[in-house]
Structure 1
């Protein structure tokens, strides 16, 4: 048998062996590629004043994202114009994942505000992922003789002066308009820039009731200055299990759950959006973040960009229908 030393046959055998080893070592195209990570500090814009549920959720999430990414994640509060100022900040940013918006369903109503002019901000933003959700609660001055929403409505109908409701954003204002149209034609809806001012005026009985987050109301309920009349969720709130839902009292048309979702500029690449979603999903496993979100009266809820986009679409349909029936003028 002829020797293989330096023969073409030996060279071919060696080349095939090396190629086979390289093929085994090389990553398959089917393997998951490394998730996107930021290369510089990230800003999460919150279009509301500091201290509310949106701000609290943003700060708790931002800190852990910063640790995961190895980059600072800064929360920037830009309140005003029903969230439009903060929204524009993100819409006009580079679509590279380094500037994000944390918003609530209020964003779907921006285009229905009478004073709004220009393109719908929702159409210029890319849904990335939900972070948490929390039902609204109906809160009133403690001296009002009512313990449920129907009892509040009955009291307002018989009161010597019209009842007033404080609102901090367009979804609450829409709820007020719906109440006006359906059961309380004399209701006065008073708009505020933030929850803290509403709480102060409710305690002083300058406004009779409002829709707020549960954590804003509970300390004042314990102090005896406010009381929670109803949860707008489909189930009772874990922080106030004795408070009935609007559905339990026959007024399910007033159900409403806030979500806290991350958006990016509309041209953000899908791989970047998926990387942000994967990072949020990772940090949400942290018990510390879960505890912080629970303390804000919310429940963690992370979904994919596609799932969140569908959630936003359905919310847009619902609130568009309501805004047409109960205009925000």
Structure 2
């Protein structure tokens, strides 16, 4: 009888310990998903207002603010190939209240000839992708080309060397690659923003450029510019008639732009996970999906781990390309 009583007590203690462990795990899980900002959140966009990155940030910020019950402010900090805005977030408190919305250009920062100091990518934590969009190759309307191979063929026989406008590092890399592989006389002209490139392309001061699709579409409809290729893996929904570089036999020029959120490196995993969960939640909103589509992008949300793997893969690819085609 005593033995049975002792055995029962032991079993009760074992079950109690197991229950306590489960409760602790549940409490931890709840704490991880329960994070919310306690003051206004800033999303830094390291580009001028009005572009695709800015539009994506503002549409997302509006709904995140409604979900969290805190203002979510978009702060444009262009300059130095994204370094100024990136530094603002790197130096911020790692508590989820200051975020960076960046594109693949961030992985090329360390390869810019003027770059000095630590790699900003290594000082940031990938949180989640928001959307992705193909770059498009746009030309002056009078250039007799409707595909990238035709554009290359035209430039090879043009009486004067063709010129290409670039506004950020990924476009610069494409220009250097094109210069090395197909058009050695190509003149690559660097600009501070897309608006100036568009103005000069319309005037034919620069012959072609890589831009976001929403920047190009109104001018294509007006007949002043033409989209000759999509650099995405698939045709852009906003311009389904435009063939991709893959379709026309030039897959090496495929560059898909993603728009992703980063936080300071030491941001706790639970905070990053909560931000991802919030973005995933608001992305179900048809209003946000419509806004992202209007910016020429496709919604694409992934976990912090998945986004980190995506960034690493992009870093490996662009590092290899930057070594072959230096951004000088």
TM above 0.5:
yes
Q: What TM-score, normalized to structure 2?
A: 0.92
Q: Secondary structure of 1:76's partner? A: strand
In the alignment, the residues of structure 1 paired with residue 34 and residue 277 of structure 2 have an alpha-carbon distance, to the nearest angstrom, of 8
Gap runs ≥5 in structure 1 = 1-15
Q: Partner of 1:141 in structure 2?
A: 140
Q: Partner of 1:223 in structure 2?
A: 222
Runs of 4 or more, structure 1, over 4 Å off, are: none
Deviation at 1:52, TM superposition (A): 0.1
The structure number with the bigger radius of gyration is 1
Contact 1:156 1:184 in 2 (8 A): yes
Q: Partner of 1:29 in structure 2?
A: 25
Q: In the TM superposition, what whole-angstrom CA distance separates every residue of 1:71-120 from its partner, at most 9, and x where no partner exists? A: 00000000000000000000000000000000000000000001100000
Q: In the TM superposition, what whole-angstrom CA distance separates every residue of 1:207-251 from its partner, at most 9, and x where no partner exists? A: 000001111111100000000000111111111111111011111
Deviation at 1:127, TM superposition (A): 0.3
In the alignment, the residues of structure 1 paired with residue 235 and residue 54 of structure 2 have an alpha-carbon distance, to the nearest angstrom, of 24
Q: Partner of 2:256 in structure 1?
A: 257
In the alignment, the residues of structure 1 paired with residue 233 and residue 64 of structure 2 have an alpha-carbon distance, to the nearest angstrom, of 31
Q: How does 1:206-221 map to 2 (within 5 A)?
A: 206-221=205-220
Q: Partner of 1:42 in structure 2?
A: 41
Q: In the TM superposition, what whole-angstrom CA distance separates every residue of 1:125-176 from its partner, at most 9, and x where no partner exists? A: 0000000000111000000000000000010010111100000100000000
Q: How does 1:109-124 map to 2 (within 5 A)?
A: 109-124=108-123
Q: Partner of 1:321 in structure 2?
A: 320
Q: Secondary structure of 2:249's partner? A: coil
Contact 1:35 1:278 in 2 (8 A): no
Q: Partner of 2:289 in structure 1?
A: 290
Q: Partner of 2:77 in structure 1?
A: 78
Q: Partner of 1:3 in structure 2?
A: none
Q: How does 1:54-93 map to 2 (within 5 A)?
A: 54-93=53-92
Deviation at 1:28, TM superposition (A): 6.3
In the alignment, the residues of structure 1 paired with residue 261 and residue 235 of structure 2 have an alpha-carbon distance, to the nearest angstrom, of 26
Q: Secondary structure of 2:127's partner? A: strand
In the alignment, the residues of structure 2 paired with residue 28 and residue 312 of structure 1 have an alpha-carbon distance, to the nearest angstrom, of 34
More helix by share: 2
Q: CA RMSD in A?
A: 1.6
Size of the alignment, in residue pairs? 309
Q: Secondary structure of 1:29's partner? A: helix
Q: What TM-score, normalized to structure 1?
A: 0.92
Q: Partner of 2:164 in structure 1?
A: 165
Q: Secondary structure of 2:67's partner? A: helix
Q: Secondary structure of 2:25's partner? A: coil
Q: Secondary structure of 2:226's partner? A: strand
Q: Partner of 1:7 in structure 2?
A: none
Q: In the TM superposition, what whole-angstrom CA distance separates every residue of 1:27-70 from its partner, at most 9, and x where no partner exists? A: 56336404210000000000000000000000000000000000
Between 230-239 and 27-36, the greater mean CA deviation after superposition: 27-36
In the alignment, the residues of structure 2 paired with residue 242 and residue 66 of structure 1 have an alpha-carbon distance, to the nearest angstrom, of 37
Q: Partner of 1:177 in structure 2?
A: 176
In the alignment, the residues of structure 2 paired with residue 29 and residue 169 of structure 1 have an alpha-carbon distance, to the nearest angstrom, of 46
Matched, 1:269 2:268: yes
Gap runs ≥5 in structure 2 = 1-11
